[in-house]
Amino acid sequence: ACWTGVVGIGEAQMIVAHRGASFDAPENTLAAFQEAWKQKADAIEGDFYLTKDGHIVCLHDKTTERTTAGTAKLNPAESTLDQLRDLDVGSWKHEKYAGERIPLLDEVLATVPQSGKILVEIKCGPEIIEPLRVVLEKSSLRPEQIVIICFNEEVVKQAREKMPQFKANWLTSYKQDKDTKMWSPNLDTVLETLGKTGATGWGTQGRDEVVTAEFVREIRKAGIECHVWTVDEPAQAKRYATLGFDSITTNKPAEIRKAVLGG
Ligand code: G3P
Ligand code: CA
């Protein structure tokens, strides 16, 4: 995809389905990822943890409480795959999704078509790096179809060092100081961290006050791709497309695709 009149610095500009098409289907389930491809997403994004017995599973929160409607409060790092696989993570969204299971990273990778990509967000620490490398290198996807993304600087750094064949985005969210009203991190800190980690991309929270044209221009000048999340409003999506973002991550891929690409 290519936003009208704007050329990004990545190979192509993408609509990324956040936790799958998670407005319509239960986040981080195979149902949500299949729905994303149906809605013509260019890529999917999912969140991943390492289990106690060394498997990589797809889950956003630190526990399973919310996505099991309060029926189980398991922490993935302290649970086995079998314990996690017992849980129903579909019913909380709608009864028609009853029985959806927490997927393994392999299963999520297997949904990606030849023309699609996946943003693999790491929600735990560097202990996942080696098992992650094994799973990703065994997958039948081409390296350019896989991007590792993470808030944790050390994970991004190690991902770049140990698996340089995959791109990696460092994720940034912002906090405002109550007294000075200043947002942090600022542009200099973001540029410095991107440099330190060796990230190939910047994944930014869609905070319009911070993410200005200047901010984006400076990051692109450093040769770093610009990606934004989570944008569900068409007008906001158009703003980020015009700023030249390489991707827009959304819970509503069909609607946002239509807003920025016309269908
Ligand atoms: O794509 C990055 C974004 O998903 C980070 O936020 O909380 O939705 O994982 P979160
Ligand atoms: Ca995520």
Considering only CA atoms, which residue is closest to atom 2 of ligand 1? 229
Q: Which of 255, 250, 260, 261 is nearest to 119 (CA)?
A: 250
Chain length of the chain:
263
Express each pLDDT in 168-223 by its tens digit.
999 999 999 999 999 999 999 999 999 999 999 999 999 999 999 999 999 999 99
The packing angle between helices 153-162 and 129-138, to 10°, is 50
Distance CA(218)–CA(187), nearest Å, equals 8
Distance 85 CA to ligand 2 centre (A): 20
Average pLDDT over residues 117-125: 98
Distance CA(196)–CA(14), nearest Å, equals 26
- Tell me, what's the pLDDT at 77? 98
Distance 128 CA to ligand 2 centre (A): 16
Distance CA(13)–CA(244), nearest Å, equals 9
Task: Find the residues whose C-beta lies inside 6 A of ligand 1.
Answer: 18, 45, 47, 60, 121, 149, 171, 203, 229-230, 249
CATH at residue 114: 3.20.20.190
Number of domains in the chain: 1
Distance CA(227)–CA(240), nearest Å, equals 9
Tell me whether residue 96 is in a domain: no
Among the ranges given (64-68, 157-161, 226-230, 257-261), the one the predictor scored with the smallest mean pLDDT: 257-261
Tell me whether residue 18 is in a domain: yes
Distance CA(59)–CA(132), nearest Å, equals 15
Residue pair 26/67 in contact by the 8 Å Cβ criterion:
yes
Express each pLDDT in 48-58 by its tens digit.
999 999 999 99
Tell me whether residue 163 is in a domain: yes
Tell me whether residue 190 is in a domain: yes
- Domain hosting 158: range is 14-62+103-261
Among the ranges given (138-152, 164-178, 219-233, 249-263), the one the predictor scored with the smallest mean pLDDT: 249-263
